[in-house]
Amino acid sequence: MPSIRPTSLPAEERRAAAVEAMVQLAARQNPVEISTTAIARHMGLTQGALFKHFPTKDALIEAVMDWVATRLIERVDQAAQSKPTSIGSLEAMFMAHVGFVTEHPGVPRILFGELQRAEMTAAKRLAQHLLQRYGELLGQVIEGGKRRGDISPDVATEAAATMFIGTLQGLVMQSLLVGDVTLIRKRAGPVFTLYARAIEVRT
């Protein structure tokens, strides 16, 4: 994301700057503990100026989740289309997701936080829709691979998609636990190789 210079920005760009500020702050601390005052201060605004665009913190979190859903799906979809084989497409998607998390380490903190909330919020619905859309995209790639013969026809598509997402989530969680976001990139290649061996056609 570019550096924030909110004082002279039009409304839409200021909203985008607020989303950026939330993601940046979440990379360094628990999103639950981030106050609107801290967000406004990070942007160089008053709290009142921030409220003109986001009347509540939940409204800002919803905007963050909308941004994440749009950008992440765009990135993995483009990655899926960049390779001639289904295994290649899945690897490109895996690495694209890893790159997104590495660039925006605050995102998984926000996402996990929303999914753990007991109540159904607009942001949580967006997070659930993201996971559903992601699963559908994976299903399309896996089914295509089974038709083309590079993914075993015995593979259960839904289970393979769940395993793909769960493997990524495990890597992200490990990186958060040790406080080193670069860990996910270091381990991604060997981990994907194991995943690929589980679903590809054996020769």
Please, are residues 19 and 60 in contact by the beta-carbon 8 Å criterion?
A: yes
- Greater confidence (47 vs 76) lies with 76
Mean pLDDT within 18-46: 90
Residue 189, both tokens: 């290649």
Q: 3 pLDDT exceeds 50?
A: no
**Residue 83 contacts by C-beta under 8 Å, 6 or more apart in sequence?**
89, 91, 92
Mean pLDDT within 31-51: 88
Q: Where are the alpha helices (DSSP H) in the chain?
A: 11-26, 36-43, 47-51, 57-80, 86-103, 106-115, 122-148, 157-178, 182-199
Q: What pLDDT was estimated at residue 9?
A: 54
Residue 168, both tokens: 């990524």
**Residue-range domains of the chain with CATH:** 1-55 (1.10.10), 56-199 (1.10.357.10)
How does residue 51 score in pLDDT terms, banded at 50, 70 and 90? confident
Q: What pLDDT was estimated at residue 1?
A: 47
Q: What pLDDT was estimated at residue 133?
A: 94
Q: 10 pLDDT exceeds 80?
A: no
Q: 2 pLDDT exceeds 70?
A: no
Q: What pLDDT was estimated at residue 4?
A: 45
Q: What pLDDT was estimated at residue 203?
A: 66
pLDDT per position as a tens digit, 122-140: 888 888 899 999 999 999 9
pLDDT per position as a tens digit, 138-197: 999 999 999 999 999 999 999 999 999 999 999 998 988 888 888 898 999 999 999 999
